[in-house]
Structure 1
Amino acid sequence: MILKSLARVLSTGSLALLLAACGNFSGLGSDGVTTEQEMASRQAADAQRAAQANAYGTEKPRSTIWDLFENSADPNSTVAVNKYLWQASLEILNFLPIESVDPFTGVIVTGYGTPPGGGRAYRATIYVSDPALDARSLKVSLQGKGGGAVSPETQRAVEDAILTRAREIRIRDSKL
């Protein structure tokens, strides 16, 4: 009997704490009642935050605990590439001079360079299209000096080398 009463009191108390955490009590006065002046002040502050958010292109401010579970990240300002594929691409093709790098779109463009022990100069464009460590996330385009296309076997070998190195880097990081 005593245990049931104690369990009921604890569950009621934890429910009250949960509701208090979910609520927004910032507008309550010292006596627990919201005055018109406090409401007007809060609305003006909310309007100012909204105007600033629109000016900077950011999302609306969060107001409840449930807003934390929304996916409100701006896809124009987030990096959506796999870091292991990105790093492996730079390591495998380190003999090529980098012309441009854009981690937001996942594109690496290199200039012409000759691989160690090779006689033909190549240039590459690498596109990491997804945050997954997957072969479908990597696109490599190779071009030989003078505008010549490279054989599909050479292109496949470069892609395989990048994927293998990316997996090695991921395994190394997981052991830290």
Structure 2
Amino acid sequence: MHMGLFMSILRTSAFGLSLIAILGLSACGGGSGSVGSAGSGNIFGGGANAQQQGGGLGHTPEVEEPRETIWDLFKNVDDPNTTVEVNRYIWNASLDVLSFMPVQAADPFSGIIVFGLGRPPGGGAAYKATVYVRDPALDARSLSVALYTSGGRPASAEAVRKVEDAILTRARQLRIRDGKL
């Protein structure tokens, strides 16, 4: 009688559903040593192939250890000393060239600067911009600019190209000024 009551509570309560889901997921953990083997369905890689890539004597391959259970996804295994590099000259030049726009958000780790609505010096239409500095090289491929009118429509390709050229020119000037030509 008590078992039937317990089962009906499990079937109808959110706790019961959560418990069943957790037990079901933990059963998928494996543990038979087949993690990383061919055809095992392991999406995290590793296994025998990762150990064979090591090469000669005393060489330890720098391969991330495979994750064995779903709970490994919640472990913090990232290296806290790893940083994403962006070109500081392009970053500072973007802030200089688009200084007429308010900065709404800036993330130097991902290289994204979001500018609010602003009118360029000398009048004209108001624009919003998002700048993406994606590489540490001082190169045109390191810079992407998305420019929008006050109505939210993308600006002309010519306007975007002029802004990108102005940012890259200013970045080169900053680099020359620092004496790192």
- Provide the TM-score with structure 2 as the length reference: 0.55
Provide the residue aligned with 2:143 in structure 1.
Answer: 138
Paired residue secondary structure (1:111): strand
Q: Which runs of 5+ in 1 are unaligned?
A: 1-53, 60-72
Deviations 1:140-161 (A, max 9, x none): 0000011122111110000000
Q: Deviations over 1:73-98 (max 9, x none)?
A: 52xxx141000000000000000000
Q: 1:161 to 1:56 in 2, by over 3 A?
A: same
Q: What CA distance in whole angstroms lies between the structure 2 residues aligned with 1:156 and 1:132?
A: 19
Q: Are residues 139 and 57 of structure 1, via their aligned partners in 2, closer, same or farther at CA, if it must alter by over 3 Å?
A: closer
Say how many residue pairs are matched: 106
- 1:121 partnered with 2:126: yes
> Which structure has the highest helix share of the two?
1
Query: Is the alpha carbon distance of 1:82 and 1:115 closer, same or farther for their aligned partners in structure 2, counting shifts above 3 Å?
Result: same
Q: Structure 2, unaligned stretches of length 5 or more?
A: 1-74
Decide whether aligned partners of structure 1 residues 142 and 57 sit closer, same or farther in structure 2, where only a CA change above 3 A counts.
Answer: closer
Q: How does 1:15-164 map to 2 (within 5 A)?
A: 58=79, 74=82, 78-164=83-169
Q: Give deviations 1:33-62, integer Å, cap 9, x for gaps.
A: xxxxxxxxxxxxxxxxxxxxx979547xxx
CA distance in 2, matches of 1:79, 1:55: 18
RMSD: 1.9
Which portions of structure 1, spanning 4 or more consecutive aligned residues, are displaced by more than 2 angstroms?
54-59
Question: What secondary structure is seen at the aligned counterpart in 2 of 1:116?
Answer: coil
| TM-score, length-scaled by structure 1 | 0.56
Sort the Cα spacing of 1:105 and 1:118 in 2 relative to 1 into closer, same or farther, 3 A.
same
